[in-house]
A and B are shown apart, each in its own frame.
Chain A
Amino acid sequence: MSCKIPCLRWHSFHTHKRGNAPDEYEDAFAGDANTARFAVADGATESSFVAAWAKLLVEGFVAAKGRSWRKLDWLGPSRQNWADDIDPLPLPWYAEQKREEGAYATLLGVAFSCGRNGRLGGSWRALAVGDSCLFRLRGGQLVKSFPLVRSSEFGNQPALLGSRGRQVDTPTQGIQLARGRWRPGDRFLLMTDALAEWMLRRHEQEQRPADDLAQLLVGSEPQDAFAAWVEERRIGQGLRNDDVTLVVIDL
Chain B
Amino acid sequence: MPYSAEINRSNPTCFVFLVDQSHSMLKPFVGQPDKKKAEGVADAINRLLQNLILKCAKSDGVRDYFYVSAIGYGGTVGSALGGGLAGQTLVPISAIANNPLRVEQRTRKVDDGAGGILEQKFKFPLWVEPKGTGKTPMCEALRLAKQYLDVFLGRFTDCYPPLVINITDGMATDGDPRTDAQELQKLASSDGNVLLFNAHISASQTLAVEYPSSEDPLPDNFAKLLFRMSSVLPPRLFEAARADKFPIQPEARGFVFNADLVSVVRFLDIGTRVAQSVR
Instruction: List residues of chain A with CB under 8 Å of any chain B CB.
Output: 19, 24, 42-50, 92-98, 100-101, 104, 106, 155-158, 160, 162, 166-169, 171, 193, 241-242
Contacts and interface: CB of A to CB of B under 8 A. Distances in A.
B44 to A, nearest CB: 19
Contacts, number: 84
Contact of B272 (A42, A94, A167, A171): A42
A171 B100 CA distance: 36
Interface stretch (B2-10, B18-26, B146-154): B2-10
B115 to A, nearest CB: 12
A97 B124 CA distance: 10
A42 B8 CA distance: 18
A245 B278 CA distance: 26
Given A92-B97, A157-B243, A241-B6, A46 B103 contact: no
Contact of A95 (B57, B273, B277): B57
30 contacts: A19-B8, A19-B10, A24-B58, A44-B272, A44-B274, A45-B271, A45-B272, A46-B270, A47-B274, A48-B57, A48-B58, A50-B59, A92-B98, A93-B103, A93-B123, A94-B53, A95-B59, A96-B123, A98-B58, A104-B272, A104-B278, A106-B272, A155-B243, A156-B271, A156-B273, A157-B243, A157-B274, A160-B278, A166-B113, A242-B271
Nearest to B277: A168
Interface string B254-279: 00000000000000011111110111
Given A46-B270, A92-B98, 19 more contacts: A19-B8, A43-B272, A44-B274, A45-B273, A46-B273, A49-B59, A93-B103, A94-B54, A94-B62, A97-B54, A97-B122, A101-B274, A104-B274, A157-B275, A162-B274, A162-B278, A166-B113, A167-B113, A169-B278
Nearest to B6: A241
Given A96-B123, A157-B243, A46 B274 contact: yes
